[in-house]
């Protein structure tokens, strides 16, 4: 069983930056894609950004130009660099890993990001 542990969340002022980390218990290269999702109170979970095992990235329109997803296979860690944060970015951010081979999906416990002045 794969375990994903998020960290790096916290309170930041609008316009500030945070870097979230998702550390996996195994090699993240074994997953076809990993991603970051977020869920705000009373809202549906939404996709923030994804990255494939080959490094191809995709992001939601709402965060493009501000957020960058990356991965470090040597550290089995996926990152989400968040710049120019807005209050509407406030949410619990979850790390996700997906394997096409097994159709398995794994989730971290989430890390809270609060953007407020």
With cut-offs at 50, 70 and 90, classify the pLDDT of residue 1. Answer: confident
- How wide is the angle at C-alpha 57 spanned by C-alphas 31 and 45, nearest 5°? 75
Average pLDDT over residues 22-51: 92
Q: Quick check: 69 pLDDT over 90? A: yes
Which tens digits make up the pLDDT trace of 16-31? 999 999 999 987 778 8
What's the rounded Cα separation, in Å, for the pair 76 and 91? 24
Average pLDDT over residues 75-83: 96
Sign of CA dihedral 72, 38, 10, 58: positive
Q: Tell me, what's the pLDDT at 87?
A: 98
Q: Tell me, what's the pLDDT at 51?
A: 96
Q: Tell me, what's the pLDDT at 101?
A: 85
């Amino acid at each position: 069983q794969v375990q994903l542990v998020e960290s790096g969340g916290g309170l930041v002022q609008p316009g500030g930056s945070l870097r979230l980390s998702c550390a996996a218990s195994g090699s993240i290269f074994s997953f076809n894609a990993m991603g970051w999702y977020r869920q705000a109170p009373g809202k549906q979970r939404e996709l923030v950004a994804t990255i494939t095992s080959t490094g191809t990235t995709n992001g939601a329109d709402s965060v493009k130009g501000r957020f960058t997803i990356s991965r470090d296979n040597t550290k089995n860690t996926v990152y989400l660099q968040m710049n120019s944060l807005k209050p509407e970015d406030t949410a619990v951010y979850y790390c996700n890993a997906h394997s096409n081979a097994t159709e398995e999906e794994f989730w971290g416990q989430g890390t809270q990001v609060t953007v407020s002045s």
